[in-house]
Amino acid sequence: MNSITYNETIAALSNDWIEIPTLGRRSSFSVKVEKNEILIRNSSGKIFDITKKHWEKVMNRVEELPVEDRQKTSYYAEGKEKYNWEEIPHRISSPYVPAILRYLITTQ
């Protein structure tokens, strides 16, 4: 799983909500583009925006991880384990970003 740019993601997503499985595939969330910004709606209905800066930080994280760890949710979450992410841009919405990436890579 290799990173893609924010603009490529904006172009690939819809203005309508799309349901996407989380990285762990235990639940799903929705994503759409509105006013040139990525919006995520989690399973409890809360909406988060993913800015270009946020997207780029997560893509940098994707690229720095070994390939075999890029689809593991815990690598995009805060915690006490050495593999957790200390500089996480947003503790709730950041793990959804690599799930969007995986979705786009597997559907294109």
pLDDT value at 108 more than 90: no
DSSP 73: G
- Burial environment of residue 106 by CB neighbours within 10 A (0 to 12, 13 to 18, 19 or more): exposed
Sheet with 28-34, strands from edge to edge, namely 18-21, 28-34, 37-41, 47-50
Q: Which stretch of DSSP H or E encloses residue 33?
A: strand 28-34
d(CA 92, CA 80): 16
pLDDT in tens, 78-89: 889 989 998 999
Inter-residue contact 39 to 50 (CB < 8 Å): yes
Which residue, 62, 18, 64, is CA-closest to 38? 18
pLDDT in tens, 16-28: 999 999 999 999 9
The per-residue pLDDT of the chain, averaged, comes to: 94
Give the pLDDT of residue 4.
Answer: 92
The whole model's pTM is what?
0.92
